[in-house]
Amino acid sequence: MTLMPVATRPRTALARTYLMCPPEYFAVTYAINPWMNPAEPVDRDRALAQWQDLRDTFVRLGHTVHTITPEPGLPDMVFAANGGTVIGGRALGARFRYPERQQEADAYLRWFQQNGFAGAALSRQVHEGEGDIVFAGGTVLAGYGFRTDEAAAAEVTSAFGLPVISLRLTDPRFYHLDTALAVLDDTTAAFYPAAFDAAGRAALASRFPELIEASEADAAVLGLNAVSDGRHVVLPVQAAGLTAKLAAAGFEPVPVDMSELRKAGGGPKCCTLELRS
């Protein structure tokens, strides 16, 4: 299996539209993934500064950023990627596994309905939006095993009319697909192999001609929780090894510090829901 591009080729940035939620009520008051420790203090002002830097970075790169109003009592609402999936102007709202987050689904659904996404509805199956549903050109990748049910793949196919490749996640540290895999462009992805079973690794090798392997050290700082516009890759500054590999492959890494939000298991992608028209 070839895990690095055999030759560097030009990478092209495409303007994107994102939805984000300010971390006004961000806190770690419960533990629903291995990253969360309610006993570890959270600096909300620092989290807001890091979030603002991420938003400013997207704007500087030429992207459009919309914001949803945060709601009290929903400390994880900042992780907008989990609120749903939007492809071709259609929105499928999330259905969260844990009761602590279930009201977020209603908040994001209201935003979709109020902002021109006709027909937006909550998923019938448990699935946590772009946390586990990843758009890859004409294909959708659907992670399952921790926070999304395998049965959600059929609903995603019905909603968007696209083929779905299911990928079982095997390491609880990487509980969402977007913590173990970053789609960089239609033919290139970065991933942490140990987060997938053998069938998943084979499926990714078949789907992407170019695969960049992240080390455990880079995966462990959520380096793969990255946002790519096809050229620029916004990723945690702590993922130095992956940053070097991306640059060698012809991408332009854009490091940001999301360490405060990582206390809840989040990074750049967790904070960013792409609105695909």
Q: What is the pLDDT of residues 138-197, one digit of tens each?
A: 999 999 999 999 999 999 999 999 999 999 999 999 999 999 999 999 999 999 999 999
| pLDDT of the residue at 2 | 43
Q: Whole-angstrom Cα distance, residue 196 to residue 124?
A: 26
Q: Whole-angstrom Cα distance, residue 223 to residue 181?
A: 9
Mean of all residue pLDDT scores within the chain: 96
| pLDDT of the residue at 5 | 45
| pLDDT of the residue at 10 | 86
Is a pLDDT exceeding 80 seen at residue 118? no
| pLDDT of the residue at 6 | 44
Closest to 178 measured CA to CA, from 191, 193, 164: 191
Is a pLDDT exceeding 90 seen at residue 9? no
Is a pLDDT exceeding 80 seen at residue 7? no
Q: Following DSSP, what letter does each residue of the chain receive, concatenated?
A: ---S-SS---------EEEE---TT----S-SSTT--TTS---HHHHHHHHHHHHHHHHHTT-EEEE----TT-TTTT-GGGGEEEETTEEEE-B-SSGGGHHHHHHHHHHHHHTT-TT-EE-SS-B-GGGTEEEETTEEEEEESSSS-TTHHHHHHHHH---EEEEEB--GGG-SGGGTEEEEETTEEEE-GGGB-HHHHHHHHHH-SEEEEPPHHHHTTTTT--EESSSEEEEETT-HHHHHHHHHTT-EEEEE--TTGGGGT--TTTT-EE---
Domain boundaries defined on the chain: 17-274
Active-site hit among 63, 127, 176, 232: 176
| pLDDT of the residue at 8 | 66
List all residues 6 or more positions away from 146 whose beta carbon is below 8 Å from its beta carbon: 169, 172, 175, 176
Q: What residues pair up with 3 in beta bridges, in sequence order? A: none
Percent of the chain with pLDDT over 70: 97
Percent of the chain with pLDDT over 90: 95
Q: Is 270 one of the catalytic residues?
A: yes
Q: What is the CATH number of domain 17-274?
A: 3.75.10.10
Q: What is the pLDDT of residues 71-94, one digit of tens each?
A: 999 999 999 999 999 999 999 999
Q: What is the pLDDT of residues 25-74, one digit of tens each?
A: 999 999 999 999 999 999 999 999 999 999 999 999 999 999 999 999 99
Is a pLDDT exceeding 60 seen at residue 124? yes
What is the distance between the terminal CA atoms of the chain, rounded to a whole angstrom? 35
Ramachandran sector of residue 244 (left: φ over 0; alpha: ψ -120 to 50; beta: rest):
alpha
| pLDDT of the residue at 248 | 97
Active-site hit among 21, 63, 127, 270: 270
Q: Is 127 one of the catalytic residues?
A: no
